Amino acid sequence: MRILCLKHIAFEGPGMIAVWAQQNGHSLDIHLASSKGPLPSMESFDFLLIMGGPMSTYEDERYPWIAREKSYIRSAIARKKRVLGICLGAQLIAHTLGAKVQSAPHKEIGWFPIQRDTDCPEQFKLPGTLKVFHWHGDQFEVPKGAHRIAASEACPNQGFLYRSHVLALQCHLEITREGVTLLSTACSNELIEGRYIQNAATLQSAPACDLDRMHHILFELLDQFTAGIQTDPSA
Structure confidence by residue, pLDDT tens digits, 148-187: 999 999 999 999 999 999 999 999 999 999 999 999 999 9
Mean predicted confidence (pLDDT) in 104-108: 95
Q: Is residue 48 part of a domain?
A: yes
117 and 151 in contact (C-beta within 8 Å)? yes
Q: How far apart are CA 128 and CA 190, in angstroms?
A: 30
Residue 235 has pLDDT above 80, yes or no: no
- Cα 34 to Cα 50: distance, rounded to the nearest angstrom: 13
* Gap between the Cα atoms of 185 and 91, Å rounded: 23
65-95 pLDDT per residue, tens? 999 999 999 999 999 999 999 999 999 999 9
Identify the weakest region by mean pLDDT among 19-33, 96-110, 113-127, 203-217.
113-127
CA distance linking residue 1 with residue 24, whole number of Å: 9
pLDDT at 43 over 70: yes
Average pLDDT for 120-126: 87
From the list 196, 61, 223, the residue with the least C-alpha distance to 133 is 196
Q: What is the model's pLDDT at position 217?
A: 97
Tens digit of pLDDT for each residue in 30-39?
Answer: 999 999 989 9
**pLDDT given for residue 230 in this prediction:** 62
% pLDDT > 90, the chain:
92
Measured CA to CA, the distance from residue 179 to residue 14 in angstroms comes to 10
Q: Is residue 231 part of a domain?
A: no
Average pLDDT over residues 110-116: 98
pLDDT at 232: 52
pTM, two decimals, is: 0.95
Residue 57 sits in a domain whose CATH number is 3.40.50.880
Q: Give the whole-angstrom CA distance, residue 58 versus residue 111.
A: 27
Counting the structural domains of the chain, the total is 1
Please give the radius of gyration of the chain, using alpha carbons only, rounded to the nearest integer.
17
Distances (CA, A) of 8 to 51, 69, 86: 7, 11, 11
Parallel, antiparallel, or unpaired: how do β-strands 146-152 and 101-116 relate? antiparallel
Chain CA centroid to CA 87, Å: 4
The secondary structure of 83-143 as a DSSP string is: EEEETHHHHHHHHHTT--EEEEEEEEEEEEEEEE-TTS-TTS---SEEEEEEEEEEEEPPP
pLDDT higher than 90, residue 122: no
140-to-70, 101, 157, 167, 184 alpha-carbon distances in Å:
15, 4, 7, 13, 23
Give the separation between CA 49 and CA 4, rounded to whole angstroms. 6
CA 81 to chain centre: 16
On whether residue 235 sits in a domain, the answer given is: no
Q: What is the pLDDT of residue 234?
A: 45
What domain range is 177 assigned to?
2-226
